[in-house]
Amino acid sequence: MGETQDVVVIGGGPGGYVAAIHGARLGGKITLVEKADLGGTCLNRGCIPTKALLNTADVLSQVREAKAFGINFPEFTFDLAQAVSRKDAVVHQLRSGVESLLQRNGVRVVKGTADILAPGQVRVAGEKEEILTTKNIIAATGSKPSALPLQGTVPGMVMDTDQAVNLQVVPASMLIAGGGYIGVEFADVYQRFGSQVTIVEPLGRLLPAEDAELGQAMQRGFEKRGIRVLAGSVVKQVRMEENEKLVTVVTGDREEKVRVTTVLNCSERLPNTQGLGLERAGVHTEQARIVTDERMQTNVPGIYAIGDVVGRTMLAHAASREGMVAVENALGRQSRMDYRAVPRCIYTRPQVAAVGLTEEQAKEKGCEITIGRFPLAASGRALTLGEREGFVKVIAGVRYGEILGVGIVGPQATEQIAEAVLAIGVEAIVEDLARAIHAHPTLSEASMEAALDALGQAIHIPPRRVRPAAR
């Protein structure tokens, strides 16, 4: 069985490997078990590959729009296979970096599939079976794509996201099932690559989990670009007809047939708990999600869970922080996970980013709120970039002025949101954001102006009488 470890981490994604490295730096004896590639879905098939392709789409858009800046390209070509090759090189470099960091921090990496035999015992089935003994276990096994509930559809007719990041030829047309953050990013990529894209979203609009204004802004922008959005709709069936896929889409009591060359499933992901031995170990789950407290500990002492397998917020950076919290507690420290200031970033064009409460959530909590908005059409920096679409929205409490939430639509929104993350994390008030001197001209000035607008003091938009939003 070997030497007893302080922590065995199951899963080498952005939650698991961060927990392992952090635990090792705190002086713990750590073993990490990973059945496939280090970095998990995020690095190998999700966050990093999609952002590499989205950046390719950004460059492609810049070339197409260069004439407006006085730069002429008489002709150019786009090679998706070459873009995918670049994506693979980025993934390989980052994965090698993770491997090196684990090694340099003294983390033992074991290849194989792990299951929990009991608290303190983990079996690994790899080239040879091994039983690991440990004081603590952290489950970080991530999630997997869910299957669409289709009637009479032959297996293989619908592509998943793992396949979508490795296409070698741009599809002539693509139907995407799911208008959440994964679906809209793939829609953005392939529309800019040249596909005719249709999104089918079961709820009433794109980005249904986000602030309504953000989702509506994205939907308007997509539709202006020619992306068709079928909201309040579901995919019922997919079948082949004359070398195309004939997709049956149901909207209310109406059926529609949509012809496309490719169908991509971007519906919800499911926690990877099957075969982990949770029931044997007595770990409590709800709808396949592992239940934890704010210390990331399960109902079984010494067993923790983090990331997508917990299902609170399926974001890589949240998993990383959860991993740090879990391993700190496993090593005897006292740490709590705070979800108030977890940023939510979508890397489309325009980008969308948010943190804290949406307007709808604030109202549901009974908060009396005031809202400040600033359009990028009034931003000097946005106009110099040729990116005038978008806005910043600040939601603050009326009584104390505390910043409850911020949403940004526009260029570099995913970078700009960090200021709001810090503001909410340190419990800043809206006056703090309004009074902070922002460099001019920058996109971040829009956050300052939105905060000023919440106070009725915005400089670069017409005055308005500030009114608390309805409860």
Please answer whether residues 395 and 371 qualify as being in contact, where contact means their C-beta atoms are separated by less than 8 angstroms: yes
Residues 250, 234: Cα–Cα separation, whole Å: 5
Q: Report the alpha-carbon distance of residue 5 to residue 1 in Å, rounded.
A: 10
Q: How far apart are CA 405 and CA 215, in angstroms?
A: 15
User: Is-catalytic flag, 440?
Assistant: yes
H-run or E-run covering 420: helix 413-425
Sign of the torsion formed by the C-alpha atoms of 216, 221, 223 and 229: negative
d(CA 96, CA 303): 29
Pick the catalytic residue: 22, 284, 317, 440?
Answer: 440
Q: Which amino acid is at 24?
A: A
CA 220, 252, 225: angle at the middle one, nearest 5? 20
Phi-psi region of 318 (alpha: psi -120 to 50; beta: other; left: phi over 0): alpha
Q: How far apart are CA 351 and CA 207, in angstroms?
A: 12
Distance set, CA 316 to CA 12, 170, 308, 321 (Å): 12, 28, 8, 9
Active site residues: 440
